[in-house]
Amino acid sequence: MKAMLLAAGRGERLRPITDTLPKALVPVGGKPLIAWHLAALARAGIRDVVINLSWLGEQLHAALGDGRDFGVRITWSEEGPVALETGGGIFRALPLLGPEPFLVVSADIWTDIDFSRVKLEPDALAHLVLISNPPHHPRGDFGLDGNLVVERDSERLTYANVGVYRPEFFDGCTAGRFPLLRPLQRAIAGRRVRGELHRGQWSDVGTAERLADLTARLPALQ
């Protein structure tokens, strides 16, 4: 399986840190945030990694190179000066990801999810990892009925920004900027999205406060 790390975003809520540093390179526990993911992917046996670039992408390219120092092989998906959002960024990278299901992980989270255990069911277009709702996202995103991801107004969970997708998930999409939510809602309506609840560690490093909290807790989590 190949993996895609989403690293093209501007990181508006982490300004001024991200005025001069891509969010994926923000240091956490003595190394760039994205390096935690690369190490976890290598441990899971996932060696081929696609990373999308936009804001300060040259810094990411310079820091990670071809990935050999991290035990992986990196291919870069350039998006230009304006990031294509999550859905558009993945869609643009599909030729690099190939015909088989692939793992997608946002580079601005920290988690202990074992990527080798995230599997896609034969009848599903996508498999999402969900978590209990964090304080900054109390309403959640989707429900989970057994292993079926559903739309509902109560008893919802939060998408952990980790999932496995088939290329066919993006059938009908067109190039350009669009959110992942659009094809997700279509696939959920068709009962083609499965999921699981992750009960371990997860943090969205989206603000300076959450970055500081993770940094303080990290020694006890390792």
> What does CATH list as the number for 2-221?
3.90.550.10
Q: What are 21-51's pLDDT values in tens digits?
A: 788 888 888 888 899 999 999 999 999 999 9
The answer to whether the predicted template modeling score (pTM) of the entire model surpasses 0.85 is yes
Angle at 9 between CA 1 and CA 88, to 5 degrees: 60
Contacts (Cβ under 8 Å, ≥6 apart) of 26: 11, 14, 17, 18, 32, 33, 205, 211
Q: What are 107-145's pLDDT values in tens digits?
A: 989 999 999 999 999 999 999 999 999 888 899 999 999
| Cα–Cα dist 221/187, whole Å | 35
